[in-house]
Amino acid sequence: MFLETSLMKTQDLLNRAMTAESMRWSVINNNIANADTPNFKRSEVVFESELQRALKNENHYQIEAKRTNPMHIPFNKPKNYQMVTPKVRLEFDSSYRNDKNNIDIDKEMVDAAKTTLRYNAFASMMGRNFKKISILLR
């Protein structure tokens, strides 16, 4: 019963977001470390858009379109937010230098700062939720 509350869902979402930010931090560090490596292609973590899509579909009732064949692709395939995981995506389509490397060190440093700020904000929110849970359990 307690595990299905909005407070526990928030905790789960914060935990998933912190995991994504941690993975993002590792990927950014790898990109920065390989800034001078010829032919290196940068990676990035994709998570928020899939999570947003899953959460948006959670509360909306969709009209199921009639499919004449079960092999046809459905119009809307609901996705559980608990199945969404962060994924690393390689960016092949660009190169900034003659050696085919596509790392922009300034962009990576800005992304590292954003990642740190988001991770700290999520950790702060998680701490506040833990305080609420401890008050509830007293």
Banded pLDDT at 81 (limits 50, 70, 90): confident
CA distance 99 to 39: 6
pLDDT per position as a tens digit, 49-59 = 888 888 887 76
CA torsion through residues 41, 15, 52, 57, sign:
positive
Each residue of 104-119: pLDDT tens digit? 999 999 999 999 999 9
Given a cut of 90, is residue 43 above it in pLDDT? yes
Provide CB contacts within 8 A for 4, sequence distance 6+. Answer: none
| Bigger pLDDT: 98 vs 43 | 43
Extents of the domains making up the chain: 2-36+104-137
pLDDT (average), residues 116-138: 91
For every residue of 86-118, DSSP letters joined together read -EEEE--S---STT-----HHHHHHHHHHHHHH
Residue 1 pLDDT exceeds 60? no
Would you state the pLDDT for residue 63?
67
Q: Is the pLDDT of residue 132 over 60?
A: yes
Query: Tokens 């849970």 identify what position?
Result: 133
Q: State pLDDT tens for residues 3-42.
A: 677 888 889 999 999 999 999 999 999 999 999 899 899 9
